Structure 1
């Protein structure tokens, strides 16, 4: 019991839920530009620290270019998918990142998974499925304008998320967290800026800038900055599989916020689902 409830286990569980809460607060419908502000913040803050250190990079810069490209496109594809398919489909298909992460960490990071780990993953996914079943007949779960296109985007984005998370786990364990954040921010900002110029030139023009719009963008950038800053810490403690499992609760946190902040009524299955996911996380990380 003492070994199960170790300090490392508790830190991993708590940090995972803090990151899940941060990702819950990000919901602006601007697939490319919303990420640009975050990458610029990362480049400025961690880049200054990296320059101050005056130490050579521990990993080749072109590996970070690839990581920046993968991370930007993962964010873009999943956010873009919300325009075409239902939230239920996104929640379900986004789980595809979990088996992808398990496979990639097993192949490239030589991570060994015991039977208990698979049981924890199964419980977490089962909890999310409960949420999906409870939402099937909800009025806000429309099919979307192009469900097939949206579903393909989610699956592709989930696979890129898995590649990005496993790559970050490798860099944070073999290079340096500050270096990782600085280089990811730098090349992520460059890729995002190029993509806006080439593919999404009208994205920012269509946003009617005002204090009411600027505040959500600023809040999004800060939330994502904190999220990205915390991800390497969790990756080093518990690995990328734990990160992806922890983020399964993000939709449930949004439901709890709606309950207590807006006094909305939700299906009782949400509470069972939330408990199942948290239980699965405990089983996995123990």
Structure 2
């Protein structure tokens, strides 16, 4: 398995790698916003998501109303994917109250095998040796981050680790279902349609959940421009994330997206180094490089896949010419 510069520098590969890291940075920005709210004593994960879903509904809903297109997918498909997405966000954020960040980072990798199985079963995606090896290298990078946390003595236990770990596993599974379903919808339906209904149903589900779970938390907040700014920032970041996501899903698939998010914790480390001048373990740098190599390997096309496609095109063209010659009563040319 050697590196081929032409494969790495293909437009599709570069777009996938670039968009994946932009999405990873947006996730990191949202993590810092959530941490800021937590430091201020605000524990309202669904309320944060609500503002992002509402912004999606307003912007993409307006575009869809202007176009007045024919709806390509069933409305309940969008409702189900929005429900899964809202609850995945809620579960993973909620897990921070019970278990350590190290455990969350490690268990969040459960989304990777889930996505591989779901895309293989439902989307008929084929994974060959190079793809699988890229996934394995990415996971090795994340495991190195965990070891660096342990080596630096930064691991802190939670109040109920078992409960927290189960919440992360449930959330990671729901993320895998959401990502795979979104990949199917964005390829079979329409991006504007997907974002419109995702925002609409996401906002409705979040609003209901806020009324049940977080109403008291919101009433306790002393609202001001300073208090509202993190919510607005989270909404804008989430809007950008969901706007870019369909492009990556359409060009590179949900597995590439899930693997790209593995670097979000590493971007957080770099922000801590350069913005807050914190010292981190040297293994972080090696882990980041390892995950980056894994992403590059995964995004490279398999040579035999290309040859198979070219062969299929040639055979189809030859078959078409043969049929044309037979219709004209001419012997087929070699």
TM-score normalised over the length of structure 1: 0.97
Deviation digits for residues 168-202 of structure 1 (CA, Å, limit 9, x no counterpart): 00000000000000000000000000011122222
The answer to whether the 8 Å contact 2:110/2:173 transfers is yes
Distance (whole Å) between structure 1 residues aligned to residue 224 and residue 144 of structure 2: 40
Aligned counterpart in structure 1 of residue 264 of structure 2, from 229, 235, 250 = 250
The answer to whether the 8 Å contact 2:8/2:296 transfers is no
User: Superposed, which structure 2 residues align to 1:104-123 within 5 Å?
Assistant: 104-123=118-137
Distance (whole Å) between structure 2 residues aligned to residue 107 and residue 275 of structure 1: 31
User: Superposed, which structure 2 residues align to 1:1-286 within 5 Å?
Assistant: 1=4, 2-27=6-31, 28=34, 29-136=43-150, 138=152, 140-286=154-300
Deviation digits for residues 224-267 of structure 1 (CA, Å, limit 9, x no counterpart): 11001111110001000000100000010011011111111111
Pairwise CA distance, 1:139: 5.5
After the TM superposition, which of the residue ranges 131-140 and 253-262 deviates more from structure 2? Answer: 131-140
Pairwise CA distance, 1:49: 0.3
Instruction: Indicate how the Cα distance of structure 1 residues 3 and 136 shifts in structure 2: closer, same or farther if over 3 A, else same.
Output: closer
After the TM superposition, which of the residue ranges 214-223 and 39-48 deviates more from structure 2? Answer: 214-223
Pairwise CA distance, 1:141: 2.8
Pairwise CA distance, 1:55: 1.1
The answer to whether the 8 Å contact 1:196/1:203 transfers is no
What's the C-alpha RMSD, in Å, of the aligned pairs? 1.1
The answer to whether the 8 Å contact 2:130/2:297 transfers is yes
SS at the partner of 1:12? helix
Distance (whole Å) between structure 2 residues aligned to residue 206 and residue 153 of structure 1: 26
Q: Which of structures 1 and 2 has the larger relative contact order (alpha carbons within 8 angstroms, sep 6+)?
A: 1
Instruction: Select the structure of larger CA radius of gyration.
Output: 2
For structure 2, the residue ranges without an aligned partner over 5 or more in a row are 35-42, 301-334
TM-score normalised over the length of structure 2: 0.84
Distance (whole Å) between structure 2 residues aligned to residue 273 and residue 206 of structure 1: 41
The answer to whether the 8 Å contact 1:9/1:285 transfers is yes
How many aligned residue pairs are there? Answer: 286
